[in-house]
């Protein structure tokens, strides 16, 4: 892992490969390891930077900067500090929403955008996630970690992905290093975010990857994505849930590489 000291705290990231820069952003309760197989699949042609967002993984958790807008600022500062003038952004779930907002705010810094199971409108979060957006409920869940892990292992993981064990182990590892503030504020911010009116400002090629079996974000978000972004296209994966990179990694990585290699016009 590499480390970067930013104005709002330390950021850890994993970098691998060589070539054009690709910045990978994880979702809620995730970390850089969401992208392990993707980093390897891109390594021959791309330099991947998989970031632990503030509040998650090994990045700073003490300063309370855990909203979608804060994460946009993080990516901008990250690129400044590493001397990356522009890059392709690939984001999963919340990380994809961050990527879209970044492309709206800093269009000159984005070559292409890929989002995976990401809300355009935060109200598309399903009933499995909505309880976490309320501080009283989130706090109660946070203060009963054994019950949270049990529910994650027996209920959530089998519903979310076919690779339930892998997902559970990643989530258990990541939540053990997360604070209540990052646990609650990040998803509450996501729930309040609606990018629908601003999507036409994303003028670069954009790919929305949505799993038909997604039980966390309504997969019909792909309709808003393709209707709102001028160069938006959708990859709808019938065999995947919220984590296509876990459910169908070979197909996901193949399609991702194809999109990245296609001409940008």
Per-residue pLDDT in tens (0 to 9) along the chain, 265 residues? 899 998 888 999 999 999 999 999 999 999 999 999 999 999 999 999 999 999 999 998 877 679 999 999 999 999 999 999 999 999 999 999 999 999 999 999 999 999 999 999 999 999 999 999 988 888 888 888 888 888 888 888 898 998 898 888 888 888 877 888 888 899 999 999 999 999 999 999 999 999 999 999 999 999 999 999 999 999 999 999 999 999 999 999 999 999 999 987 6
Over 121-141, what HEC string results? Answer: EHHHECCCCHHHHCHHHHHHH
State the helix-helix crossing angle for 94-105 and 68-82, rounded to 10 degrees. 70
Cβ atoms of 108 and 197 within 8 Å: the answer is: no
pLDDT at 214: 97
Cβ atoms of 264 and 237 within 8 Å: the answer is: no
Cβ atoms of 42 and 33 within 8 Å: the answer is: no
Q: How far apart, in whole angstroms, are the C-alpha atoms of residue 252 and residue 210?
A: 11
Backbone Cα Rg of the chain = 17
Domain extent at residue 143? 2-261
Distances from the Cα of 231 to the Cα of 35, 133, 154, 226, angstroms:
25, 32, 40, 8
pLDDT at 44: 94
Q: How far apart, in whole angstroms, are the C-alpha atoms of residue 130 and residue 251?
A: 30
Specify the CATH number for the domain of residue 192: 3.40.50.1820
pLDDT at 200: 98
User: Total structural domains in the chain?
Assistant: 1
pLDDT at 15: 97
């Amino acid at each position: 892992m590499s480390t970067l000291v930013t104005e709002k705290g330390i950021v850890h990231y994993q970098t691998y490969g060589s070539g054009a820069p690709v910045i990978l952003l994880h979702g809620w309760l995730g970390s850089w390891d969401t992208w392990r197989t993707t980093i390897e699949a891109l390594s021959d042609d791309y330099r991947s930077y998989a970031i632990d967002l503030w509040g998650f993984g090994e990045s700073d958790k003490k300063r309370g900067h855990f909203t979608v807008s804060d994460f946009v600022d993080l990516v901008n500062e990250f690129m400044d500090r590493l001397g990356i003038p522009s890059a392709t952004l690939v984001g999963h779930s919340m990380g994809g929403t961050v990527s879209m907002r970044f492309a709206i705010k800093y269009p000159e810094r984005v070559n292409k955008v890929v989002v995976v199971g990401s809300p355009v409108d935060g109200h598309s979060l399903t009933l499995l996630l909505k309880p976490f957006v309320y501080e009283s409920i989130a706090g109660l869940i946070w203060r009963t970690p054994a019950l949270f892990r049990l529910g994650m292992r027996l209920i959530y993981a089998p519903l979310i992905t076919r690779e339930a064990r892998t997902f559970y182990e990643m989530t258990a590892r990541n939540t053990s290093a997360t604070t209540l503030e990052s646990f609650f504020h990040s998803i509450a911010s996501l729930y309040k975010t609606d990018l629908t009116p601003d999507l036409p400002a994303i003028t670069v090629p954009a790919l929305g990857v949505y799993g038909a079996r997604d039980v966390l974000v309504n997969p019909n978000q792909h309709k808003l994505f393709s209707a709102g972004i001028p160069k938006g296209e959708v990859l709808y994966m019938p065999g995947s849930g919220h984590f296509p990179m876990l459910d169908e990694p070979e197909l996901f990585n193949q399609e991702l590489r194809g999109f990245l290699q296609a001409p940008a016009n």
